[in-house]
Amino acid sequence: MLRIQASRMLAAPVMRIDVLTIFPEFFGQVFDFGIIRRAKLAGIVEINIHDIRQFAAGKHKMTDDRPFGGGDGMVMKPEPLFAAVEHVLGTSNRDEYPAGTRVVMLSPQGKPLKQRSAKSIADEAKRLILICGRYEGVDERVNDALITDEISIGDYVLSGGEPAAVVVTDAIVRLLPDALGSETSAENDSFSDGLLDCPHYTRPAEFRGMKVPEVLLNGNHAEIEKWRFEKALDKTRRNRPDLSERGHSCPHERSEKS
Ligand code: ADE
C-alpha cells in the first residue's frame, strides 16, 4: 500500500532530476513503476524530461553537425545544450549553479558508475541534470563548460545515453531518504559492503526436489548471518574476483567484537 506523509507532499522534493534528450518519448513510462513511481508520488523526487530539439535554432532545429577535422558520424552541437541547461538552471555558468547541482554527461568516456558514487550523489545532490549524449559524441565545449560529472554505466557502447540515464536515475532514487519505505533497506544491497548479495529463498521449502538450505529454516540468526556472508563471499569470488580481493568480515562477528 502507498502511504504518503502529508508533510512530505507539501515540502520541496529531496531531489529534482531533469533529463535532456533528443528522444523524450523514450522515457514514456519508464519512471512510472515500483520504487521510482512511489518516490515520485511521495514527493521525494521530481523528474522532468526535456526535448533538446526545442532549444535548437533555425527552421530545421538541428541538434547535430559534422565533426571538424573530418571523420565518421555526427557530433551534438553545443548551442541547444547550453540553452537547455540555461532553461533548467537559469544559468550555463558552472560557478552560478544552485548549491547541490550536478550536471552529468552520460557517455562511455565517463567515470564508471559505482554504488559508492550513486550514494554520494543521493546524499549530496539536490538538482541532477542528466544529459543524454548521442551520435559519435558531443561537442567537447559542453564537457568543458557545463558538466560537473561524466558517467559511464559500463565498458560497452550504447547508441545513446538514454538507457544510461534510466540506470543512473534508478540507482540514485532508490537511495534517497524514505524511497525504499521502512520494509526494505539499501544496506544489504550488493556492493554496499563491497560484496555481492547472498542467495535468497522463499516458500515452498521444497520445489521440484530442490530444497531450501536447512540453515535458513532453523531460526538461528547468528548461523544464518554467517551462512549468508559465506555465500556472498563465494558468489563474489566466482563472479567478481576483482571485488573479492579486499578483506571482508562477517557482519555478525564484527558486531560481536565491538
Ligand atoms: N552512452 C553510450 N554508451 C554509454 C555508456 N556505456 N554509459 C553511459 N552513457 C553511454
The CATH number for 88's domain is 3.40.1280.10
Q: 112 CB less than 6 Å from ligand 1? A: no
The pLDDT value recorded for residue 247 is: 72
Residues 15 and 130 in one domain: yes
The pLDDT value recorded for residue 193 is: 81
The pLDDT value recorded for residue 194 is: 87
The pLDDT value recorded for residue 6 is: 62
The pLDDT value recorded for residue 99 is: 98
The three cell numbers of residue 66 are 559534422
- Told to judge if 136 belongs to the known catalytic residues of this protein, a careful annotator would answer yes
The pLDDT value recorded for residue 249 is: 76
Residues 100 and 149 in one domain: yes
Residues 50-64: pLDDT tens digits?
999 999 999 999 999
Which one, of 130, 102, 125, lies nearest residue 18 by Cα?
Answer: 130
What is the number of the ligand 1 atom nearest to the C-alpha of 159? 2
Name which residue sits closest to atom 5 of ligand 1, judged by CA: 108
Q: 157 CB less than 6 Å from ligand 1? A: yes
Residue span of the structural domain in which 243 resides: 190-257
The pLDDT value recorded for residue 143 is: 97
The pLDDT value recorded for residue 248 is: 79
What CATH number corresponds to the domain at position 251? 1.10.1270.20
Q: How far is CA 140 from CA 96, 133, 137, 213, in A?
A: 20, 11, 8, 54
Helix axes 34-41, 162-173, angle to 10 degrees: 70
CA distance 136 to 119: 30
CA distance 10 to 30: 25
Give strand pairing partners of 74: none
Q: Give the alpha-carbon dihedral of 184, 188, 189, 193, to 10 degrees.
A: 150
Residue type present at position 63:
T
Residues 236 and 114 in one domain: no
Residues 69 and 166 in one domain: yes
The pLDDT value recorded for residue 82 is: 98
Residues 124 and 244 in one domain: no
In a domain, 162, yes or no: yes
Residues 194 and 169 in one domain: no
Q: 68 CB less than 6 Å from ligand 1? A: no
Low-confidence ranges of the chain (pLDDT < 70): 1-10, 135, 182-184, 245, 252-258
In a domain, 1, yes or no: no
Give, for ligand 1, the residue of 158, 159, 162 to mutate: max count of ligand atoms closer than 8 Å to Cβ. 158
In a domain, 179, yes or no: no
Give, for ligand 1, the residue of 19, 26, 106, 150 to mutate: max count of ligand atoms closer than 8 Å to Cβ. 106
The pLDDT value recorded for residue 191 is: 82
Residues 182-232: pLDDT tens digits?
656 787 777 878 899 999 999 999 999 999 999 999 999 999 999 999 999
The pLDDT value recorded for residue 186 is: 80
Residue at which a domain ends, from 142, 173, 204: 173
Task: Put residue 194 in one of left, alpha, beta given phi > 0 → left and psi -120 to 50 → alpha.
Answer: left
- Told to judge if 174 belongs to the known catalytic residues of this protein, a careful annotator would answer yes
Whole-number Å distance, alpha carbon 172 to ligand 1 midpoint, is: 17
Residues 219 and 161 in one domain: no
Q: 106 CB less than 6 Å from ligand 1? A: yes
Q: 164 CB less than 6 Å from ligand 1? A: yes
Q: How many domains does the chain have?
A: 2
Residues 117 and 222 in one domain: no
Residues 160 and 251 in one domain: no
The three cell numbers of residue 129 are 541534470
Straight-line distance from the first to the last Cα atom of the chain, in angstroms, rounded to the nearest whole number: 38
In a domain, 235, yes or no: yes
Residue type present at position 187:
E
Residues 154 and 207 in one domain: no
